[in-house]
Amino acid sequence: MKRRISRPGELIKEISSKIIELLGEQVVSIVFFGSLARRVASKSKTHGMNPDLDFLIILKEFKPEYSEKLSELRLEYLLRGIKIDTVVLSVEDSLINFSNPSPLFASLVLGNQILYDTGFFAENFRKMIEYVRKSGIKFVEGGKIWDLAKIASGSMH
């Protein structure tokens, strides 16, 4: 059973530190995203409990053993009643997503928190924001249509 998270900011930083500890110098960026990062998580959708904690992890290169390490970390928190989800991509795969935004990357425009970055995510996200601003991309989630171009225009100021 999920448990209420009393201090999400501290927990998010703790998880980020553990990811860096597990994966070391392979880590290029760690980004917290999703409804909690956007501060739109609703109690009705989460049955009064906290939503999953979503992390985008960008690595220099991806190896299967990294997934195993992260599975152990997710299990550690799940046993504490906290569900975390990780999306792990290599720099190469991330560049593809930045240049042709996937739904996941497009949704990052709605809100994210950079927890660790060598500069890679911030630089490429800025370029993607400019692309989204000019493109008119929309994102649909839970019956709501988000005008990402308009949102991106607001984030450029």
Of 15, 3, 2, the closest CA to residue 115 belongs to: 15
Angle 7-32-124 from CA coordinates, rounded to 5°: 150
Round the average pLDDT of the chain to a whole number and report it: 85
Q: Quick one: which H or E segment has residue 75?
A: helix 64-78
Find where tokens 């997934």 sit: 67
Query: Domain spanning 8-118 has what CATH number?
Result: 3.30.460.10
Cα 124 to Cα 126: distance, rounded to the nearest angstrom:
5
Region 84-88: mean pLDDT is 95
Region 113-142: mean pLDDT is 90
- Report domain extents, the chain: 8-118
Cα 123 to Cα 137: distance, rounded to the nearest angstrom:
20
Is residue 138 very low, low, confident or very high in pLDDT (cuts 50, 70, 90)?
Answer: confident
Tens digit of each residue's pLDDT (9 = 90 or more) over 13-53: 999 999 999 999 999 999 999 888 877 544 434 444 556 89
Strand partners, 108: none
Region 88-98: mean pLDDT is 97
Tens digit of each residue's pLDDT (9 = 90 or more) over 42-82: 443 444 455 689 999 999 999 999 999 999 999 999 999 99
Tens digit of each residue's pLDDT (9 = 90 or more) over 106-116: 889 888 999 99
Find where tokens 């999306």 sit: 87
